[in-house]
Amino acid sequence: MSYVLDLTCDLIRRRSVTPEDAGCLPLIGGRLVSAGFRVEHLRYGEVDNLWAVHGTAGPTLIFLGHTDVVPSGPEASWQSPPFEPTIRDGRLYGRGAADMKGSVAAMVVALEQFVVAHPDHRGRVGLLLTSDEEGPTNLDGVRKVVEHFRAIGEHIDWCVVGEPSAKEQLGDLVRVGRRGSLSGTLSVRGVQGHVAYPEKALNPIHAFAPALAELAAERWDEGNSDFPPTSFQVSNLNAGTGATNVIPGELKALINFRYCTASRAEDLRARTEAILHRHGLDFALDWNLSGEPFLTPPGGVLRETVVAVCRELCGIDPEQSAGGGTSDGRFIAPMGTEVVEIGPVNATIHKVDECVALQELEQLPQLYRAVCERLLIGA
């Protein structure tokens, strides 16, 4: 059995549903200690994080990933048990095979092989793993580790995130940034009353409707060469007492911006509130910024290196995209780090019968190792 397949199977067998780590990080930490890495376990709240580094000074390249997985859903819906790694038709099935225990195993194997082949490489190479990526808040994962890094003056030049990024085959897409996500919980106050006497009430639904039309039609920005325009969506709208003869006293809405680097969160907030004020609404709006957008621009050393490795190893000229949801890269990028995401095909992630192609799994360590060699060997 190959090293990477073996380790991926070992990790899948551990039921590490967020924030449980189920022994994944100690397993990896032990291997990296044996390979000569300095390993620290950073525990915050219920969450285990692992930081391993090799080398003493100079430019620092790290790999970033998570060992936690989303729940499997009903196990009976799976063709083979989700925590029982199973090979069928050239694919490895199991929860986390693609998101992202396969990538994590590939990073570990790549790092082990890299330091054996180049014990005196320049700079530093490291691995940062969390068991809190898939959870709802990510409070005690990479966000906390980055606070710790800032406090001790840790600096990272390049970060490769192993999230499943590919569309149809490894190397066809390199993620070079992510949009920001800004959410709001809006409450519009009216005056409850009898529908027969509207002059004695104030209907918040009627009051909000024209404001909503304006928000939905607003052109927030034009996007830019790397990002599509910022989008605004209402994800929930709620009012009413359940009776047809009562004007409700309050309306609640959940809103979300997926925004690009052409807009700033504070401007989106101010413009939203200005529209609501212009419509004379009595409202409260609680904002939550879950991630700022980031971009590794063309010409960045890491971006160019990863693209070159995809061309050479996978024989593909990768699409370079800043689309998709958010990732833990959003916590690392504000440190001034170049962040690029490259991992396996994401077609089955979070689904039943999640899988990764064996061929992809074998290629991944070679790809990660090639990135290390281009950045930390030679001049």
313 CB-side CA count, 13 A:
23
Least Cα distance to 83 among 166, 172, 175, 20 occurs for: 20
Spatial CB neighbours of 240, under 8 Å, sequence gap ≥ 6? 205, 246, 248
For residues 162 to 201, the per-residue mask of contacts with Zn ion, x marking binding by CB under 5 A and - elsewhere, is -x--------------------------------------
Taking the least distance from each CB to Zn ion, the nearer of 251 and 340 is 340
Q: Which stretch binds Zn ion (CB under 5 A): 13-21, 84-92, 157-165, 196-204?
A: 157-165
20, 132, 133, 226: the catalytic one is: 133
Q: How far is CA 22 from CA 147, 161, 175, in A?
A: 25, 22, 29
CA angle 181/127/319 to nearest 5° reads: 50
Say whether 133 is catalytic: yes
Taking the least distance from each CB to Zn ion, the nearer of 66 and 91 is 66
CA angle 61/99/323 to nearest 5° reads: 75
Exactly one of 9, 12, 47, 100 binds Zn ion (CB under 5 A); that residue is 100
Rounded least distance, CB 355 to Zn ion, Å: 15
Taking the least distance from each CB to Zn ion, the nearer of 67 and 203 is 67
Say whether 68 is catalytic: yes
Specify the residue for token string 């690392």: 332
Exactly one of 21, 48, 99, 338 binds Zn ion (CB under 5 A); that residue is 99
Rounded least distance, CB 376 to Zn ion, Å: 26
Rounded least distance, CB 5 to Zn ion, Å: 20
Rounded least distance, CB 212 to Zn ion, Å: 33
Size of residue set near Zn ion by CB under 5 A:
3
Q: How far is CA 142 from CA 37, 61, 93, 96, in A?
A: 20, 16, 27, 19
**What residues act catalytically?**
68, 133
